[in-house]
Structure 1
């Protein structure tokens, strides 16, 4: 059951995303699974100043709207990711300055692992999704497929999507994604990345994935 406390927390987290300049005006959208339902920022809403009347309440399984508020045009991939990823309860689509600049480059970076935070939090492999019209079924399908086995994706000529188990994990993931892209842009393309051996070393001693 979604409560007033859930809605207020969702608004606070949306404003947090805006305060960090991950979205501006009507760019980007946010969703949060609560049981069998999800809160989704409404269509045309401004995430940085999201208001209660612009929050849509939907069934995750079907997308049925429960409170009469139309969800974001990107709700197709939000709900699709939540269905495919039972380990993730939050999805954020954002358009931060440097990551969006990278999404519009003629040559997209092949490797984003400029610092240890990227493989540790964003993902050592970041899928790059071709341009599809925002809100289209093709875009939704591509994002759902990309995030089935990854936590972050770059949408060419569009923006970024990250998913995670809670708001803090998603916020951290988005911020480090933006940090990596800022390094890539401000270096003028003259940057180095962690080697596979250095990433393996992180997995042993930082992430604890290996014995």
Structure 2
């Protein structure tokens, strides 16, 4: 069984897991992974809950579509995150409920570091980029700049995009971001005790 075959299986299985647990609905969200010749990506208008491992999009190193069905229209977003984080091997984009709700709030300063797992999986903070029409080429520079700050980015009025050293790592971090947004909502208006700067530094050290 080739590495690419295993990756195709993993995209299908983890995509289904995200869908079944409500992290994506309908045809929302997409996944990409690096392969030696370029990238595997979920196709346009596909559901993460109903992927076929043999029907994924293949793009070359220049992001040209070379095989399989047409890729997600969010290619620009994935390309930007790989550019920002050249060590990344996989990227997950979700429209999960609490992160998306958080992305619609005006004047938010970012999800606070309430738990060590948020910091360990996503870094010091998760920046938010301005709203762009899905698939718009103009978003590339903003996502590159935000992605250089950490592996997770919140997309205004849209959702999140998260990079990882493996697909499993990217999925785990995306799930952690969703749960952290949920905690922020549950604690809204109450006195909270975020991790201190020294505690954050210790986790990142």
Structure 1 residue 73: Cα displacement = 0.6
Q: What is the aligned partner in structure 1 of residue 193 from structure 2?
A: 192
For 1:22, what is the secondary structure of its paired residue?
coil
Change (3 A) 1:3 1:196: closer
Q: What is the aligned partner in structure 2 of residue 140 from structure 1?
A: 140
Separation in structure 1 between the aligned mates of residue 189 and residue 93 of structure 2, nearest angstrom: 25
Q: TM-score, normalised by structure 2?
A: 0.89
Separation in structure 2 between the aligned mates of residue 2 and residue 158 of structure 1, nearest angstrom: 32
**What is the aligned-residue RMSD (CA, Å)?**
2.0
Q: What is the aligned partner in structure 2 of residue 66 from structure 1?
A: 66
Alignment of 1:134-173 (within 5 A): 134-173=134-173
Change (3 A) 1:47 1:148: same
Q: What is the aligned partner in structure 1 of residue 45 from structure 2?
A: 44
Deviation sequence 1:15-60 (CA, Å, 0-9, x none): 122233221111111001011221101111111222246410111x
Separation in structure 1 between the aligned mates of residue 14 and residue 116 of structure 2, nearest angstrom: 26
Structure 1 residue 7: Cα displacement = 2.0
Runs (4 or more) in structure 1 with deviation over 4 Å come to none
Contact 2:19 2:25 in 1 (8 A): yes
Q: What is the aligned partner in structure 1 of residue 122 from structure 2?
A: 122
Separation in structure 1 between the aligned mates of residue 13 and residue 110 of structure 2, nearest angstrom: 35
Q: Which has the higher mean CA deviation after the structures are superposed, 88-97 or 49-58? A: 49-58
Structure 1 residue 3: Cα displacement = 4.2
Deviation sequence 1:55-97 (CA, Å, 0-9, x none): 10111x2111121421101112213432443311100110111
Contact 2:11 2:53 in 1 (8 A): no
Change (3 A) 1:71 1:112: same
Contact 1:122 1:173 in 2 (8 A): yes
Change (3 A) 1:66 1:110: closer
Separation in structure 1 between the aligned mates of residue 195 and residue 5 of structure 2, nearest angstrom: 45
Contact 1:77 1:141 in 2 (8 A): no
Number of positions where the alignment pairs a residue of Structure 1 with one of Structure 2: 203
**Which residues of structure 2 form unaligned runs of 5+?**
none
Q: What is the aligned partner in structure 2 of residue 20 from structure 1?
A: 21
Change (3 A) 1:115 1:66: same
Q: TM-score, normalised by structure 1?
A: 0.87
Contact 1:93 1:159 in 2 (8 A): yes
Separation in structure 2 between the aligned mates of residue 187 and residue 19 of structure 1, nearest angstrom: 26
Contact 1:131 1:158 in 2 (8 A): yes
Separation in structure 1 between the aligned mates of residue 104 and residue 44 of structure 2, nearest angstrom: 24
Contact 2:110 2:128 in 1 (8 A): no
Q: Which has the higher mean CA deviation after the structures are superposed, 106-115 or 92-101? A: 106-115
Q: Which has the higher mean CA deviation after the structures are superposed, 134-143 or 92-101? A: 134-143
Contact 2:99 2:159 in 1 (8 A): yes
For 2:93, what is the secondary structure of its paired residue?
strand
